[in-house]
């Protein structure tokens, strides 16, 4: 079996259309600005090289093969160990969704990227727009594969959010807001307040949140 057939066995094709008729702009529903060569490492040690990117809207690791977008299939996910892209490492949560490893020595800290694509609302009475009525147009838009493009039509919007996963030996906990992190470190409130007073923590910046967790875990009693 040659390399190409091995790789395609592990990838699921996604219907993809190039004929967007509207003006387009780049919207960050992918976590990287372009597809980048990376490595898919399987549990048996097998490695597959591919142009990869993570689609936060579909929550899939996507592969680019000569312009065609392919998502890692379930058969791959069940045997996958780690995905490496530009020095970044991604693992599976519950054997389905990916999260990036931010730290894993002494404690584990991951970030899960999520995005919601919001299509333009259809015209409504009195010159307004109805977001609800745009559901069907979005379904049609997504079904032909354009959700896998790096660029979306100019009148589409994106709502990105992050979920952080943390385990310091007591089991996994998830944080979807800075307030939840503050509550988690309630016993070290003075230490937490000292750091956040001296450093602006941006919940939408994984590096910023990682630095906060590193500080708390390093200095907590």
The residues spanned by each domain of the chain are 1-91+115-161
The model's pTM: 0.78
Residue 206: the pLDDT is 96
The span from the CA of 100 to the CA of 110, in Å, is 5
Q: Which residues are within 8 A (CB) of 115 and not within 5 positions of it... i.e. 6 or more apart?
A: 28, 29, 56, 57, 158, 159, 160, 161
Residue whose C-alpha is closest to residue 176's, from 127, 126, 113, 82: 113
Report pLDDT for 145: 58
* Average confidence (pLDDT) per 10 residues, the chain, 221 residues: 43 41 53 93 95 91 86 90 96 90 96 86 50 44 58 77 95 96 96 97 97 96 71
Q: Give pLDDT, residue 35.
A: 92
């Amino acid at each position: 079996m040659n390399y190409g057939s091995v790789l395609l066995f592990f990838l699921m094709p996604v219907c993809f259309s190039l004929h967007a008729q509207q003006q387009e702009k780049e919207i960050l529903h992918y976590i990287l600005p372009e597809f980048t060569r990376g490595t898919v490492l399987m549990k048996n040690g097998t490695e597959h090289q591919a142009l990869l990117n993570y689609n936060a809207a579909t929550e899939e690791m996507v592969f680019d093969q000569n312009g065609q977008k392919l998502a890692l299939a379930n058969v791959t996910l069940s045997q996958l160990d780690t995905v490496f892209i530009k020095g970044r490492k991604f693992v599976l949560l519950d054997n389905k969704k990916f999260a990036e490893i931010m730290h894993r020595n002494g404690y584990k800290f991951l970030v899960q990227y999520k995005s919601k694509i919001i299509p333009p609302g259809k015209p409504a009475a009195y010159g307004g727009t109805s977001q609800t009525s745009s559901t069907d147009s979005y379904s049609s838009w997504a079904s032909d594969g354009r959700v896998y493009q790096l660029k979306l039509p100019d009148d589409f919007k994106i709502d990105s959010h992050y979920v952080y996963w943390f385990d310091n030996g007591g089991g996994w906990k998830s944080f979807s807001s800075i307030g939840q992190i503050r509550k988690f470190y309630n016993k070290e409130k003075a230490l937490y307040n000292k750091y956040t007073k001296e450093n602006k923590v941006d919940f939408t910046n994984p590096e910023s949140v990682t630095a906060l967790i590193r500080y708390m875990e390093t200095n907590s009693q």
